[in-house]
Structure 1
Amino acid sequence: MIELLSYDFMIYAILAAILASFSASLLSNYIVLKKMEFIGEGAAHTAFGGIALAILLDLNIDLISIITAILFGMVIYFISKKEKVNENSVIGMLLSFSMALGVIFLYLKPGYTPELTSYLFGDILMVNADDVKILSIVSITILLFIILFNKELKYYSYNPRMAKNFGVPINLINFIFLIIVSIVVVTSVKIIGIILVTSLLITPGVIGKLFAKSLNQMILISSLSGIFSGFFGIIIAYLFNIPPGPSIVVTLFSLFLISYLINYIKNKTFVKKHS
């Protein structure tokens, strides 16, 4: 373990994985409760179009990806705001549109684009100090957002219609939430990959829901699950020379299976005692 920490790229990769997993885990609770699982998939595949455009024009991939993420969140919010078009329908259309644009942009790019594979599945060697700084800022922003709007987010998750009656700015909360989710996705693709990043936005929240008796407990459990999977996923990826994204996802899903089994046995034992 000490030998791993002697390499700068491993330190960056571990920190990035922990921060990305932590950020996504915080948001996964609200995504699971509101049944918004599709948004992670949409944001990730929309990022593909932004990355492809940046590669075509030789622009800064990180900057273009973040701009694409913000536009994605804004378009979803404004089109679905009137409730005439379902939010998932907007996400589905944007997903296909961005993927189509991405394929066209890459087709127009002469030569082979090796960096694309890294973005699809994640690559430890792509992560640098700047990525860690960006992920740190994103993590702190999300944490502050959850702390400052804890009560409003609970209303947002459980009963948005009732929340409006209590004067909760649901539209503003929804707008900020969509933007933050999109940014988390595009800032995490280097470490987890476009295809697999959705797992971080769903699985930790599901694990938290299995054991938690309140939303705050759910947030704590999901965060620990994400951090654990991010850390050990990177270690396993390094030791077995496999891509970090799949390693983190397999570790996270294994943790879910263990959690599900524990919860099943606990509930069965409880029923037997009270029958």
Structure 2
Amino acid sequence: MNKKYNDSWMFPMFEFLQYGFMQNAFIAAVLVSVACGMVGTYVVVKKIVSISGAISHAAFGGIGLGYLIGINPIVAAIPFSLLTAVSIGLINERVKISEDTAIGILWSVGMALGVIFISLSPGYAPDLFSYLFGSILTVPYFDLTLMFILDLIILSTILLFHKEFLAISFDEEFSKVVGVPSESLYILLLCLVALSVVVLIKVVGVILVIALLSIPAAISKQFTYKIKNIMVLSIILGIILTFTGLWLSFVFDLASGATIVIVLGLAFLISIFLKKYW
């Protein structure tokens, strides 16, 4: 697509924003970073990264359902992801089954349902690959609007329940003792994770969601212990690293979602080095 730039490292980093699809991609990167910076902080602090992975993979069932009934797959993924989040929360709190077992069951069942729904849908799913591995360069205006609305919902919920989320993230047992409705708040937190997953799907895809949701917060957590600072730093890092990955994918004609994740991974390795030796 951009092979005339492939041999040049000097391609101006902001010149590519003159293209309309790149402007949409940059806006998507910002919206994604906001959601991941806020929710990802709780995910990393509470150590529920694997649960986030289960929700993201189960969301594929919603994408398949969208193809089957003929609606936008992202829209269909919202209730499906929320249902998965609530199911994991209830199983974890009320059913005598280990959390990793519940995660494995919902993870695999969600993906399987997605495959079945797509196989039953008429015709061919031309953009299915983008939902699996992301395609930030093809994010339409409707998806940007939906991402913005979901970001507002996530932000509003966190502002309303920040102290409660903080309590259950660090000491859920003590929260129960002092009267905090920890079960309901835990399920609500998982629902925020589900909404974040929906925001992320179009950018990095179902397979790579967990990287954006965890790596910026994991990097930030190495340099500060205050939740608010981790959130702010995660958002800033998310924007910078996602933009860098987007630029590199444009210059070298690489898969955008995978390139963004590679940049995130390298940034994490660099942060470990800086933390240890500086």
Normalising by structure 2, what TM-score?
0.89
The alignment status of 1:62 with 2:74, answered yes or no, reads yes
Quick one: distance in 1 between partners of 2:14 and 2:199? 27
Quick one: distance in 1 between partners of 2:237 and 2:157? 20
Match of 1:194 in 2: 206
Match of 2:261 in 1: 249
The alignment status of 1:95 with 2:95, answered yes or no, reads no
Quick one: distance in 2 between partners of 1:90 and 1:131? 31
Q: 2:249 aligns with which of 202, 223, 237?
A: 237
Q: 1:73 aligns with which of 85, 105, 108?
A: 85
The alignment status of 1:146 with 2:158, answered yes or no, reads yes
Quick one: distance in 2 between partners of 1:143 and 1:229? 21
| Post-superposition CA distance 1:12-53 (Å, at most 9, x none) | 111111211221122122111221111221112111111122
Q: 2:234 aligns with which of 213, 222, 231?
A: 222
* Structure 2 gap segments, 5+ residues each: 1-12
Quick one: distance in 2 between partners of 1:147 and 1:49? 30
Offset at 1:111?
A: 4.8
Quick one: distance in 2 between partners of 1:148 and 1:176? 12
- Report if aligned partners of 1:38, 1:91 keep a CA contact under 8 Å in 2: yes
Of all paired residues, the percent bearing the same amino acid is 37
Q: Secondary structure at the match of 1:193?
A: helix
Normalising by structure 1, what TM-score?
0.90
Letter in 1 for 2:59: A
- Report if aligned partners of 1:17, 1:231 keep a CA contact under 8 Å in 2: yes
Quick one: distance in 2 between partners of 1:124 and 1:221? 23
- Report if aligned partners of 1:21, 1:226 keep a CA contact under 8 Å in 2: yes
Of residues 2-11 and 19-28 in structure 1, the stretch that sits farther from structure 2 once superposed is 2-11
Offset at 1:110?
A: 5.2
Q: Secondary structure at the match of 2:100?
A: helix
Match of 1:32 in 2: 44
Quick one: distance in 2 between partners of 1:161 and 1:13? 42
Aligned alpha-carbon RMSD (Å)? 1.8
* Structure 1 gap segments, 5+ residues each: 267-275
- In the alignment of these two chains, the number of paired residues is 266
